[in-house]
A and B are shown apart, each in its own frame.
Chain A
């Protein structure tokens, strides 16, 4: 199976999916020092987003979220890639643009409506925006 999303930031990545089961604002929701989900009552509280293909069906929240993702990229503890449910929210993609300008790590960001990927699945993102499942 493969899907084609809109490339917001191009790149290649391969890794395990972590799908956010409830919306989260990175600011106040993810600890910039260790990439752990810290939002009280969040079903995935305590999980780390480092090295995951993070699937964010509904990006929400504070504009300061860009600062948290940039901090993760700078500290090399960011997810390997992001799949967003919308292309209308520039908050998270902005951090990758800044990271690129600073010569730090960048990760692919793909917009795909109703992304159906489940946590634990192994996904490959290609630079042209195609996404495919593979057997890990």
Chain B
């Protein structure tokens, strides 16, 4: 049975709070009942997935909340929308849909959301600490918050995310509770060669394998002992959350609550132990390409999750001032763009042939020209979603492969250990 506090009851009875507060808490409470939660839990932040336009109903819902006085009670960031608000002509939507997408984004800002429009809020300062209870949407952000930051969130989605942000509360179940965070499956990469683990592509490839092996179970990964960058962890989390319903991976030695196997498994034995070998990794690498890994390409897409400042710097450096023959779409957020402009990197990249996609990305809204083509990418998430969402078939490779391919106009892969 769900136990509610006096304040929660008062909001439900419209004794305190606005009509919007009442609507939002009603949704959170009924969801909690459905999920069998015993109570609600206070949250300290929220990240909203529901600002991407899918139809008029979602717009009307958010506008009704806003009109009824709903305001977010905790710091709340927004995920990508369907528009680049800085260059509004980038999304090829009808004028009616453009208008509705804009109204949806406006309603979120009116409710007090920070207009961050990014799928990587953790790159722009939204970084809950270990043990903090939050309600985040966007699968990669959820996996990153749980895995890398040690915060606690379930995989929130459209409508429940904003309802939690307005209520400042979430149903206490799933990954909010310690007992549900224990790892069940152990994936051991100890046997993989050291130089493979230092490859750029190791992380998205391992992530996509984790997603397929884990499904809805919680995995621990042991055997990563080298120094790992945040961009690499971002790629791993995004990949795992694309191929499976992964909300948390215990990377032993990296995930704050998984300093060792005993902590990750809470002193219990793994249900399954799987040793990851090179054959499994090679198969996962090649699976990320959905067309032959040669021949001409139509574009390069980078930045799912949104490209960071350091990734933009790597792109500039590795390009060695050699222009691109095909468009290189770099998807990122307005904060990163600001920093790039301040360091004069933005113009240099544009001169090489980069097209910046800001506030949104090329797979969530129609931006890429025509109805299909070949896309080269270093993102496992783009590789997973691009065919279905854009008609562009992906070829997966490292950032350097992407740069060389853009400069040659055709897929140029140095397979390295993946041959």
Chain A interface residues (CB < 8 Å from chain B): 8-9, 27-28, 32, 40, 60, 62-68, 70-71, 73-75, 87-88, 90-91, 93-95, 97-98, 101-102, 104
Contact = CB atoms under 8 A, between A and B. Distances in A.
Contacts of A9: 34
B60 A102 contact: yes
Most chain B Cβ neighbours within 10 Å, of A8, A75, A90, A95: A90
Nearest to A88: B35
B13 to A, nearest CB: 16
B160 interface: yes
Given A93-B34, A97-B159, A102-B57, 14 more contacts: A27-B54, A63-B49, A63-B137, A68-B54, A68-B55, A70-B57, A71-B55, A74-B56, A88-B35, A91-B157, A94-B31, A94-B158, A98-B27, A102-B60
A8 B34 CA distance: 5
Most chain B Cβ neighbours within 10 Å, of A27, A28, A70, A88: A70
A88 to B, nearest CB: 7
A94 B61 contact: no
Contact of B54 (A71, A75, A94, A101): A71
Interface string B164-182: 0000000100100000000
A97 B57 contact: no
Given A63-B156, A101-B26, A71 B58 contact: yes
Nearest to A27: B54
B64 interface: yes
Interface of chain B, main secondary structure = helix
Contacts of A104: 57
Interface string B15-47: 000000001001100110011100000000000
A87 B34 contact: yes
Given A64-B157, A67-B54, A102-B61, A94 B49 contact: no
B160 A67 contact: no
Contacts of B388: 28, 40
B36 A70 contact: no
B394 to A, nearest CB: 15
A71 B59 CA distance: 10
Interface of chain A, main secondary structure = helix
Given A64-B49, A64-B52, A73 B57 contact: yes
Contacts, number: 91
Nearest to A67: B54
Contacts of A95: 159
15 contacts: A28-B388, A62-B139, A64-B49, A65-B157, A66-B158, A66-B160, A67-B58, A70-B159, A71-B58, A93-B31, A94-B27, A94-B157, A97-B31, A101-B61, A102-B57
A107 B31 CA distance: 15
A105 B3 CA distance: 29
B137 A90 contact: no
Nearest to A86: B216
Contacts of A97: 26-27, 30-31, 159
Contact of A32 (B49, B52, B55, B155): B55
B389 interface: yes
Contacts of B150: none
A75 B23 CA distance: 21
Contact of B31 (A40, A63, A65, A90): A90
A67 B158 CA distance: 6
B389 A90 contact: no
Contacts of A102: 57, 60-61, 64
Given A28-B389, A102-B64, A90 B49 contact: no
